[in-house]
Amino acid sequence: MTSARPRSLPSLLARALGLGVLAMIALPVIVAFGALAIGHLAGGCGPGSSGGCEMGAAALGLYAVLPSFLLAAVVSLLRDQRKPRS
């Protein structure tokens, strides 16, 4: 069996911050494009619309920034805390 060295607090926080920033960039983009895709497939958006769908997708992307950062950072910290310390 190999004994795992416990991680220090700064490395745990750096890892959580990195994952949070990555999620803060990726998830809002996915949410915005998902909202656009659903709007276009439903037929409410597209040529002849006033641009409300695009503004709604942009707003959803902006609203998803902070929750996605917090969610990813907390998941990273919890995952690191649950690792066995031998």
Higher pLDDT, 17 or 1: 17
Torsions phi, psi of 65, nearest 5?
-65, -60
Rounded to an integer, what distance in angstroms lies between the CA atom of residue 58 and that of residue 51?
Answer: 11
Rounded to an integer, what distance in angstroms lies between the CA atom of residue 37 and that of residue 31?
Answer: 10
In the chain, where are the structural domains located? 23-82
Q: For 20-69, write each residue's pLDDT tens digit.
A: 999 999 999 999 999 989 988 888 777 777 778 888 889 999 999 999 99
pTM score, whole prediction = 0.76
Place of tokens 């990726």: 26
| DSSP letter, residue 85 | -
Rounded to an integer, what distance in angstroms lies between the CA atom of residue 11 and that of residue 19?
Answer: 12
> Which distant-in-sequence residues (6+ apart) come within 8 Å of 82 by Cβ?
none
- Note the pLDDT of residue 5: 61
- Note the pLDDT of residue 68: 96
